[in-house]
Each structure stands twice: as C-alpha cells, then as structure tokens.
Structure 1
Amino acid sequence: MLSALAEPTERDDESTLRPKRLSEFVGQPRVREQLELVLEGAQRRGQPPDHVLLSGPPGLGKTSLSMIIAAELGSAIRITSGPALERAGDLAAMLSNLVEGDVLFIDEIHRIARPAEEMLYLAMEDFRVDVVVGKGPGATSIPLEIAPFTLVGATTRSGQLTGPLRDRFGFTGHMEFYEPHELEQVLRRSATILGVDLRPEGAEEIAGRSRGTPRIANRLLRRVRDFAEVRADGEVTREVARAALKVYDVDDLGLDRLDRAVLSALVRSFGGGPVGVSTLAVAVGEEPTTVEEVCEPYLVRAGMLARTPRGRVATALAWAHLGLTPPPQAPGEGTRWPPVE
C-alpha cells in the first residue's frame, strides 16, 4: 500500500493523473524553475536542450517530468528502461529510429548494461554510434549517424551511475520529498480529475500519511474513494479518511503493517538492535530487499530507525510509537550509539 514503487496495475491510473505541462506540475519548485530555463533557452536557440538527469526516490514525478519535457518541446518521446537495454544492439536500434528533436527517456538508467552504456557515450556527445559487424579479426565498425536528440535519464540511485555517464548530462535535477501542503495540492488536482468529493480536511489527513510521495498520496486517495462510496455518502471528510486508512492499516505517521512489523520485531525480538537486515527480514517473513528498499528509507527519514555499522537500531521514537518505554541507550534520548561503557 505504501510502497513508492509503481504497481503494474497502476499504470493506467497514473497516466490519467500525470500533469501534461510544467505549469501544472505541483512541487519541486527549484527543479521546475531550472528546467524551465533549460528548455526555454534551447527553444530560443533552436537546438535540442542538453541531456537531463533526474534523480531521487521513486514516486516523486521523474517520469512525469520526462513526458512534460517532450510536451514543452513539442517532440515525441520514446520510453525504455535500463534493464531492457541488455545489448548494444538494442540501444542502436532505438537510437537509429529517433527523429531530430525527439526525447529518449531511460528509466532506472543506472541499471543499463555496460556495452549499451559505452555506446551511449558517443551517442550523447557526437550523435553517432559505431555498429560492429562480424566477429573476430574480420569484424568491422560501421559509423552510424543519428538525429540530434535529448536523453532524459531517471535514477533512484545516482551513486551507482558511472562517472563518464553522469558527466555527459548537461543538467541534473534532484527530486525532493514533498511537503504536506504540496501533497494537498496534488490530491485536490487528482480528486478533480477522478471526480472525488474531497474536502480540505480530508486532503490534509491523506497528505499527512503519504510519506511525502505523490504516488502514495494518489494511491491512498483511490482507496479512500472506494471506502467513501461503499460505506459513506461519497464525501471524503477527515473522519471518512481516518476510517478508511484504518481499514487499510495506515496509521497517523504513514506506517503500514509491514513497517510496524519491522519495528515490532526490532524492539520486541531483538531488544532494539543492533540487528542485520537479513535477520530482520526473516523475522517479518519478507525478502531483505523489500525491507531495505520499501520500509527502511521512510523509517530512517521519520527518525525511527538508525543504520549503524553493527546493524539496524530502533530509536527512542520507535519505542514510543509502539507504546513502550525506550531504554537509556536508545538513540534519540541524548545518547549516542553504541553506548559508552
């Protein structure tokens, strides 16, 4: 429910709610202003803009911004992902079909295969690729000119990008988590599109539990809409939103069942830690990657979990959230971890 990763069944809903223009995009004021300057400057010069890299956690609007870039330029957009580009030939086929001014969007670009990445270097700089024909001593390299294009890359892990690839982007925008009042704007816009009778206090309640992520806010809005239509009069008030989110196990701080299970296991089974993520995952019956990528980022940001060299540690806030008294050595109580003997 509260994973910021997109579910396959959500693609159609997300496409309906995506903003179409930069003026419609809510939040990210710094990135929006910088991007507006990049695009307008390129249009005045009559040239494709520099390649754009968008980084940040999932669900914050990187894909939406890539589509907006194409719309603002009046260009077509070709969409692919890093894992889909396993061979250089896959990328060469896509690049050769581009028309001048097109936007090529590569999601999760840090996962692109190395042969395709090396081909991308030349394409980004000189709008040319070298296609190797044949094998062994008889192999020949055929240069292939491609139309000038703009590459938009999105990544949730910018640290995994290689230096040569990162340096070839002319503009890098880092997406930040949204403030509650920004999420309320997102929810009001989405409610208008979906035809939901959303009251201001209802929007405030949902926004406060959305982890600063528009994708989660829109997902919760759709679930609250279902509850309001089935068990209420269709109007999303604060009371209706609270009752709906209680049904879906989303508490006041935006924690769901899995988040609370992780904290409960850490506190009750391991005395607050430190404990390794693999052990913690076994205790809650999940994969380590799920705990590490879905639960931990928000728990750390909310100040309930601390990552230490010895393992994960529950903070005093986590103990208090579970209704327990934190021990003296719990981080957040004026002590440091590990405690001094």
Structure 2
Amino acid sequence: MSGELSPQAAPSEQGYEGALRPATLAEFVGQSKVRRQLGLLLDAATLRQHTPDHILLAGPPGLGKTTLSMIVASELDKPLHQTSGPAIQHAGDLAAVLSALTPGEVLFIDEIHRMARSAEEMLYLAMEDFKIDIMVGKGAGATSVPLELSPFTLVGATTRAGLLPNPLRDRFGFTAHLEFYSDDELSSVIRRAARLLEFDISDQGVEEIAGRSRGTPRIANRLLRRVRDYCLVHETPGDTESVRAALTLYDVDQHGLDRLDREVLAAVVERFGGGPVGLSNLAVSVGEEAETIEAVVEPFLVRAGLLTRTSRGRVATRLGWQHVGAEIPEHLFSV
C-alpha cells in the first residue's frame, strides 16, 4: 500500500507539537509586552556584539516559556542546550553542562527552582564571572581548581518564582512574567495551528475551543488536535457542533474544566459542605496527590472564581455551587 505513511514517516504528536511552535518573536502570539522587552534585549546585545543578559521566564505552565527559550537561541543564531532543574541534583551535574557550552550558547534550565542547593551556589559564580570552582580530591587533601567558562546566556524557566533564592533571582538581568492569554489571543493561536495542521475549522469552532482553553496556548493546541481527530474519524466539518461534540467526548466542559477539576469542585461542595477543607483531605477525597491539586487544579478554579483559598482551607464560591448544580445554602452567602 504505497499511499500510506510508514510508522517512521508518520509524524508523532511530539512532532506536531514541535511544528506548531513559532520560530521567531514576530510569529509568537500574545505576551506583547514581554516580546517587546525581549526583542529590545536581544537587538541591543547583537548591536553591541555581546552575550545578552541572563533571562528568567516566570509564569504558569503552557504559556510559552520553552518556546521563548528556543526563539532566543534562534534570534541570536546560537545553539541551544536544554536541561531541567530536577536533572541537576549535584554540583557535578551542573559543572558537566557548563563546561561543555560553546561561546554564546543559550542554556535553558526548565523548572530552575528545583535545582539542588549545591548546584545553585555554583551557578552564582558561573552567571556573574563565567567561571566555576571544581573540587579535586577528598578530605583534607581536596583542592579547588578554577575553570574558565565560555560566555553563555542562561534562560531559566519557573512556575514557582517565589521558590527561587534571592541571590539566584538577582543575577538575572531580565525577568519576564508571562500572563494568561485572552480568548482573542488564543483564537489567533488556534487559527495559526489549524493552518499548519491543514485543518479547516470555522470561526465559531475556533472561538469555542478558545473559550475552553483556560487561557493557555498549550491546552488550546491540544484541544485543537483532538477536535481534528474527531472530525477526521467521524468525517464531519470543523464546525461548532463537531467542536462541542469532540470536547464533550474528552470531558472538557464549556468553562474549560476537565474531569479532575469537576471532581475537586464537587468534593468541596458535596462532601465538605462548601468548605473550608484542607488540601490533604481534599486530595485524599479525590484520590490525587496534594501537589497536583495545588499546582494544577486549584489555580484555575481560583482564577475562574469557582474556589477561594482562606486561612482555614478551600471554600467554594457561589459560582462554584452553581457550576456543580447543587442547591446553594443561603446562609453561606447571606449579606
């Protein structure tokens, strides 16, 4: 069957994800202020023929931190080395990465707040003076050997900027705080991705996906691919009806809540009377890790006005009760 793609030739989901990433700042949708600031930083460094200042990208997952790091390397026409904080658990791990960098290379460390403390302390000197001290030997006979590094630009990404120690945060010359996207910005992201995927989707279908994407381009692109699959299998056009049917199939409601979001909200309302309820009890009640609830589910529910955090625990708002479809006890919200 010569007309079919072989498994090697067929693009994977990871391949699609990479193909949807913008390659330049001009192609990057949203974060207009950050794009202008970053563009100025890179243009100035190019004119001065110097390595740009180190860059810290802070914000929730899925807003484009990794993509921006790739764009920095592309705009500078320099290679990119990618690693992550959890992968650097010893100073030696970091020393191996830093010593292998070429002049002007861009080093991207994702979740940089999760680096080991010993590696953070080594990074201080590397960021300021482009050198590190390596301990040779053990015990009383150990000696410190200085190692000169090639000038590089560090791009650090974090979803928890408050966990970065001040000495590390202060060594970044530019800090960008990425914000959630508006529905209009997400619609632009979806239209661009649909063109690249050669998927014909109506304007109403685009708006439907944008409204359920939680202000996050990564989620918008993922939902678009699921809608494309649905339309392909069911041989339907990319209209509003098909989009709604596909997203219903994948448990994404009209506000962007998925199965776990609804389970958490329902637990607060139905099992704990609207709250307050502590994080550990809430996590046990839905069978999830507390870290997942705190880092993934809770921020969106709070931002959507469905849940609030108090000193005593999590409390469902009036909108939260309405979303679950439960009868609202008036004494909870009486003026």
Distance 1:327 1:73 in 2: 59
Q: Which residue of 2 aligns with 1:106?
A: 109
Say yes or no: does 1:292 pair with 2:294: yes
User: TM-score, normalised on structure 1?
Assistant: 0.92
Q: Which residue of 1 aligns with 2:124?
A: 121
Distance change in 2, residues 1:116/1:60 (3 Å): same
Distance 1:96 1:10 in 2: 34
> 1:315 is aligned with what amino acid?
T
Say yes or no: does 1:27 pair with 2:4: no
Distance change in 2, residues 1:10/1:82 (3 Å): farther
> What are structure 2's unaligned runs of at least 5 residues?
1-11
Task: Decide which of 164, 185, 188 is 1:185's aligned counterpart.
Answer: 188
Say yes or no: does 1:150 pair with 2:153: yes
Q: Which residue of 2 aligns with 1:45?
A: 48
Q: Which residue of 1 aligns with 2:63?
A: 60
> 1:19 is aligned with what amino acid?
P
Q: Which residue of 2 aligns with 1:256?
A: 258
Q: Which residue of 1 aligns with 2:285?
A: 283
Q: Which residue of 2 aligns with 1:218?
A: 221
Deviation for aligned residue 1:328: 3.0
User: Counterpart of 1:197 in 2: which secondary structure?
Assistant: coil
Deviation for aligned residue 1:309: 0.9
Distance 1:334 1:128 in 2: 63
Deviation for aligned residue 1:327: 2.3
Deviation for aligned residue 1:278: 1.5
User: Counterpart of 1:249 in 2: which secondary structure?
Assistant: coil
Distance change in 2, residues 1:47/1:329 (3 Å): farther
Distance change in 2, residues 1:216/1:280 (3 Å): same
Are the equivalent residues in 2 in contact too, given 1:232–1:240 (CA < 8 A)? no
Distance 1:12 1:308 in 2: 43
Q: How does 1:196-275 map onto structure 2 within 5 Å?
A: 196-233=199-236, 235-275=237-277
Task: Decide which of 85, 93, 110 is 1:82's aligned counterpart.
Answer: 85
Q: Which residue of 1 aligns with 2:3?
A: none
- Which one is further off, 50-59 or 242-251? 242-251
Deviation for aligned residue 1:159: 0.1
User: Counterpart of 2:215 in 1: which secondary structure?
Assistant: coil
- Which one is further off, 249-258 or 169-178? 249-258
Deviation for aligned residue 1:329: 4.7
Q: What do the CA deviations read for 1:198-255 (whole angstroms, capped 9, x no partner)?
A: 211110000000000000001101111111111233x211111011111111111111
Task: Decide which of 122, 130, 142 is 1:139's aligned counterpart.
Answer: 142
Distance change in 2, residues 1:264/1:29 (3 Å): same
Q: What do the CA deviations read for 1:64-89 (whole angstroms, capped 9, x no partner)?
A: 00000000000000000011111111
Aligned length: 324
User: TM-score, normalised on structure 2?
Assistant: 0.94
User: Counterpart of 2:26 in 1: which secondary structure?
Assistant: helix
Q: What do the CA deviations read for 1:58-117 (whole angstroms, capped 9, x no partner)?
A: 000000000000000000000000111111111111111111111000000000111111
Q: Percent identity?
A: 64
- Which one is further off, 181-190 or 277-286? 277-286
> 2:172 is aligned with what amino acid?
F
Distance 2:33 2:220 in 1: 21
- Which one is further off, 20-29 or 222-231? 222-231
